[in-house]
A = this chain, B = another copy of it.
Amino acid sequence: MQARSASAKLTLPDAQFRAIGRALADPHRFAILEQVAALEDMPCSRLEEHAVLSPATVSHHMKELSEAGLVEIRREGREAYLSLHRPVLDAYVNRLAAL
């Protein structure tokens, strides 16, 4: 019997662990992640980083975050809605905390 539930621990493959590390290492990307985490369902167009970065660059960062598994992108009409994927962030945090 497996006690899977809210606290089920996810183990990250090495490749993903590396991708997450790189994704978190860029300040703009981290700022985006912070803002995504703060809201439940964040329309991409409302990211404050649009004030400092070109749309192309913002899109690039979201792709990195998404490929690292940290955020999920839901497309609706012409907008993209972003949400933090907590299990992956938690798994990353846990691995650091286990040091």
The residues of A with any CB-CB pair to B shorter than 8 Å are: 18, 21-22, 24-27, 30, 33-34, 37, 84, 89, 92-93, 96-97, 99
Contacts and interface: CB of A to CB of B under 8 A. Distances in A.
A24 B27 contact: no
A93 B93 CA distance: 6
Given A18-B27, A21-B24, A96-B96, 6 more contacts: A25-B25, A37-B99, A89-B96, A92-B96, A93-B96, A93-B97
Nearest to A86: B99
Contacts of A34: 99
Contacts of A89: 96, 99
B18 A96 contact: no
